[in-house]
Structure 1
Amino acid sequence: MTTITQEFPELACYGLAGHSASPADLLDEVRLAERLGLGSVFLSERFNVKDAAVLAGAAVAVSTSIGIATAATNHNTRHPLVTATMATTLHRMSGGRYALGLGRGFSLLFDVMGVPRITGAQMEDAIGIYRRLWHGEAFGHDGPAGSYPFLSQDSSFDEDIPVLMMAIGEKSLELAGQVADGVVLHTFLSDETLARSVRTIRDAAAAAGRDPAAVRIWAVLAVVEESVPEELALRKLVGRLATYLQGYGEVLVRANGWDLADLKRFKEDPLVQGYAGAFDAVGTTEQLTYLRDEVLPGAWTAASATGSAADCAQRIVDQLNAGADSVVLHGATPTELAPVLEAYRTVRPDLPNLPVNPGHVR
């Protein structure tokens, strides 16, 4: 395990925040994030110009001390041997700074792709396959994640590669506590929901005979500091939340205990019905302003960090006080986060010395 440190190992950002058409921008983002002292950079995957393996490899190549997380890819879009190989390659290239993150993805997308929808049993099974491969086993497998006559990487392998799981709902949180090294929660969770999610994960870990404190829990906080132009701020907050509500709104609304009637009103709004695309990608300023002022409850976007750099820094502290070990500062580039980190330095609580690998706590 790497012993490299960063000033803020408990904090991370997302590379290429939003719908970027220029993946090369990631290179300078990672360099700046490392200089600013962020502990890790998280990388999402989109089936356009955001391939998980390519982005993670590029991030590793231009960095020496920041952690790298794929958060997330899906087990069902690659053969398990391919995913395991991706992870071992990144693990060794980075000197132990890499964590593999897995999520459930979008069922409707998988339907049109012609791949199976993801279940919790499949995810647990896939993680088990990866871990056996990383520890040098050779085996045949027939389980929820698929049937494979023979799987093997290298009999000399004994790799400690942490697995992160993305989780929102109760069952996903429990599964993550049972099997994952780290858990990445969701954007736009209220502080109360965050605290409850942390308890659920740690209780599930304990019930599975694991050390609850050994599971690293990441809150995900949308950060839009006041210097961000209004049009961009709308896209980062209203557009992003509306996109989540388009894809899996009921899961997020139920997790927060929000009113399902408000979600129904959102989905039945003439603008939303049949909308061609994701609001955070193609929504106009007028459309996003309408959603903010006329459709979405204000409390829903308030589960974020906005205002001055000091205000945003305090919201980071709130997430840690709610029980999270770490916080992903979501939707903001390293440049946008610079004033927030400066303010956070003055209010940063006394924290354990976490490793930069986002899947480890020690």
Structure 2
Amino acid sequence: MSFDVGVQVFPGQPRDAVAEAIAYERLGISSVWIADHFHGAGRDTSWIVPEVFTTLGAVAASTETLRFGTCVVSTTKRDPAVLAHGALTLSSLSGGRFELGLGTGFGPDLHAFGIPTRAAVSRLEESLEVVRGLFASSPERPFDHDGRRWQLSGAFLNLPGAAAPPVSLAAIGPRMLELAATRADGWLPFGLTPDIYRAFLDRMAPRSAAFRARLWVPTFVEEPGEDRSAEAEASGRLYLSMAPQVLEHALGAEAGGSAGSSLAWSPERGREIARAIPRELALAVTVHGPPERCVEQLRAFEAAGCDGVVLRITDPTRRRGDVERLAQALQSA
């Protein structure tokens, strides 16, 4: 297949994430990614959640060709100068293999730690401007910024030779889609069917030739005799309950209006919304089934204009085995 297949090595112990990255590099997987959360509360309190930048530093030091990135960093909880410094350092450590995915964040994860989420999209927009400015800064070319939230004067990062990482946005809403198309290098959404993916991608036209449109997708690879459709359906319902724009596109304005964004989401409200989501739609935003069927589903996203996927397999006890089976099927396709 011509498009990239990456894996989110999250949740799980940080040492296991590094070991998986090494194994996937040998398998020919193109990239690994880690989410930016404090914990899994709201979804699964058993998740083991490492800090994203320190874990990816170990990935950078332990691999040679594998690309890696954040899927995605929350600009709601991170100062953009600190974010830019960490991202540029990872790019320097890895010889330019790092990719920066940005998003607003997940409400329950932020609220539990007292982080306000008001005006999160505006904050992301200004964060992106500061990050971009600092990527281009140097002692000879300091960066000034007089914004609503941040003021920088004569600021610069000094990492000679470090390539500015490409920046992708986890965008679904109209304003975020416009930001992705005009201010970012790529798109990294969730909770889309192939048809809806194409429709949303068309909304971002025109885009630069270098723009990378990806998707992170819940993935359930079946062993012989297994049926994981119930797991896939539950996962699809969960993520769609955080995507009002997708529900509006698929089911109409009333369905979209009943849902909240990932920042406003709560387990109780999510369960209420999820019950009304058709099974067929819930399954269509996942990759599930035997490896060969999973490959067919990935091809459908590729045909919709997707340049690559990030497989989200949240059970760390079976993630490597599932990826190995799917990699074999991909090599045979």
* TM-score normalised by length of structure 2: 0.80
- Establish whether residue 241 from structure 1 lines up as the match of residue 222 from structure 2: no
Partner AA of 2:6 in structure 1: A
Deviations 1:284-329 (A, max 9, x none): xxxxxxx99x764211222122222111111111111111111222
Deviations 1:55-110 (A, max 9, x none): 21122122111101111112232222211110111001111100111101135654
Tell me, yes or no, if the aligned pair for 2:76 and 2:105 is still in contact at 8 Å.
no
Name the counterpart of 2:104: 104
Give the counterpart of 1:300 among 281, 302, 312: 281
Give matches, 1:105-184, under 5 Å: 105-107=105-107, 110=110, 113-135=114-136, 136=138, 137-149=141-153, 151-154=155-158, 159-184=163-188
- Which whole-Å CA distance do the structure 2 matches of 1:245 and 1:126 have between them? 27
Structure 1 residues 54 and 298: CA distance shift in structure 2, 3 A: same
- Which whole-Å CA distance do the structure 2 matches of 1:343 and 1:138 have between them? 49
Deviations 1:12-68 (A, max 9, x none): 11112xx44x33221221112111111111111111433121121122122111101
SS at match of 1:117: coil
Give the counterpart of 2:250 among 254, 257, 260: 257
Partner AA of 2:235 in structure 1: R
Tell me, yes or no, if the aligned pair for 2:190 and 2:239 is still in contact at 8 Å.
no
Partner AA of 1:244 in structure 2: Y
Q: Give the paired residue count.
A: 311
Partner AA of 1:71 in structure 2: C
SS at match of 2:14: coil
Give the RMSD, CA atoms, in angstroms.
3.4
Structure 1 residues 117 and 313: CA distance shift in structure 2, 3 A: same
Structure 1 residues 249 and 194: CA distance shift in structure 2, 3 A: closer
Structure 1 residues 231 and 295: CA distance shift in structure 2, 3 A: farther
Structure 1 residues 177 and 80: CA distance shift in structure 2, 3 A: same
Tell me, yes or no, if the aligned pair for 1:102 and 1:163 is still in contact at 8 Å.
yes
Tell me, yes or no, if the aligned pair for 2:37 and 2:109 is still in contact at 8 Å.
no
Structure 1 residues 228 and 160: CA distance shift in structure 2, 3 A: farther
- Which whole-Å CA distance do the structure 1 matches of 2:257 and 2:142 have between them? 50
Tell me, yes or no, if the aligned pair for 1:41 and 1:66 is still in contact at 8 Å.
yes
- Which whole-Å CA distance do the structure 2 matches of 1:190 and 1:244 have between them? 12
Structure 1 residues 61 and 155: CA distance shift in structure 2, 3 A: closer
Moved more, 43-52 or 32-41: 43-52
Give the counterpart of 1:194 among 168, 192, 197: 197
Name the counterpart of 2:22: 31
Which consecutive unaligned segments of at least 5 residues does structure 2 have? 40-48
Deviations 1:159-207 (A, max 9, x none): 33211111112321121010111111213x111101112222233x3xx
Name the counterpart of 1:11: 5
Structure 1 residues 148 and 346: CA distance shift in structure 2, 3 A: same
Give the counterpart of 1:45 among 31, 36, 59: 36
- Which whole-Å CA distance do the structure 2 matches of 1:139 and 1:315 have between them? 45
SS at match of 1:38: coil
Name the counterpart of 1:286: none
CA offset at residue 224 of structure 1?
Answer: 1.2
Give the counterpart of 1:327 among 286, 309, 320: 309
- Which whole-Å CA distance do the structure 2 matches of 1:151 and 1:15 have between them? 34
Structure 1 residues 31 and 77: CA distance shift in structure 2, 3 A: same
Partner AA of 1:222 in structure 2: P
Tell me, yes or no, if the aligned pair for 1:266 and 1:296 is still in contact at 8 Å.
no
CA offset at residue 275 of structure 1?
Answer: 4.4
Instruction: Quote the sequence identity (%).
Output: 23
Structure 1 residues 150 and 34: CA distance shift in structure 2, 3 A: same
SS at match of 1:257: helix
Tell me, yes or no, if the aligned pair for 1:166 and 1:186 is still in contact at 8 Å.
yes
Tell me, yes or no, if the aligned pair for 2:243 and 2:259 is still in contact at 8 Å.
no
Partner AA of 2:332 in structure 1: T
RCO greater where, 1 or 2, for CA within 8 Å and sep 6 or more? 1
Name the counterpart of 1:359: none
Structure 1 residues 234 and 130: CA distance shift in structure 2, 3 A: same
Structure 1 residues 24 and 234: CA distance shift in structure 2, 3 A: farther
Tell me, yes or no, if the aligned pair for 2:18 and 2:55 is still in contact at 8 Å.
no
Tell me, yes or no, if the aligned pair for 2:76 and 2:120 is still in contact at 8 Å.
no
SS at match of 2:182: helix
